[in-house]
Structure 1
Amino acid sequence: MDKARLVEATAEKAVHHGTRPLDVADVERVIDALFGTVEYPGTIAQALKHDESVVLGSFGSFRSDGRDAAFRAGRALVEYLDENG
């Protein structure tokens, strides 16, 4: 799934979890702010650069070992993949 499809799918999914649809452009701005772009680091990258880990509940966490970033899947993600894999 590329970024464009991720943005579209997230906007579609948000309709089922909220009271109003989310605009695709708004979803794209949030994804860019979270994960970053080439020009601007996202909030995850900034936290890792400051030696902070980022924990997204049972989805998983990001951490940095100096220059490398690592993602560790959380329990909910692992269980979902095991059940539906």
Structure 2
Amino acid sequence: MDRTQLIEATTEKAADDDGRRTTADEVERVLDAVFGTVEHPGSIAEALRRGEEVLLGSFGRFQPDGGTAVFRPGRALTEFLQGTTG
């Protein structure tokens, strides 16, 4: 899945109960703010540079590790990928 496909898939999943859809532009701005772009680091990158860990609930965590980042999947993501959850 590339960036464009991620934006499209997220736009579909973000519809509210009334059927109002978040626009692709809104999703793109949020993804850029969280993950960053080449020109501008996102919230995760900035936190890692400060030596902070970024915990995303049971999805997983990003941790700084000697000038790089490590992602450790959480329980919910692991169980989903293993097919042990609905």
When normalised by structure 2's length, the TM-score is 0.91
Stretches (4+) displaced over 4 A: none
When normalised by structure 1's length, the TM-score is 0.92
2: distance between equivalents of 1:4 and 1:18? 24
* Percent of paired sites with the same residue: 55
SS, match of residue 5 in structure 1: helix
* CA gap 1:3/1:18 in 2 versus in 1, 3 angstroms: farther
The structure with the greater share of residues assigned to helix is: 1
1:49 counterpart letter in structure 2 = R
Number of residue pairs the alignment of both structures matches: 83
Give structure 2 stretches of 5+ with no counterpart.
none
Give structure 1 stretches of 5+ with no counterpart.
none
The equivalent residue for 1:32 is 32
TM alignment of 1:1-80, pairs within 5 A: 1-15=1-15, 17-19=16-18, 20-80=20-80
The C-alpha deviation readout for 1:17-43, integer Å capped at 9, x for no partner, is: 554210000000100110000000000
How large is the RMSD of aligned CA atoms in angstroms?
Answer: 1.2
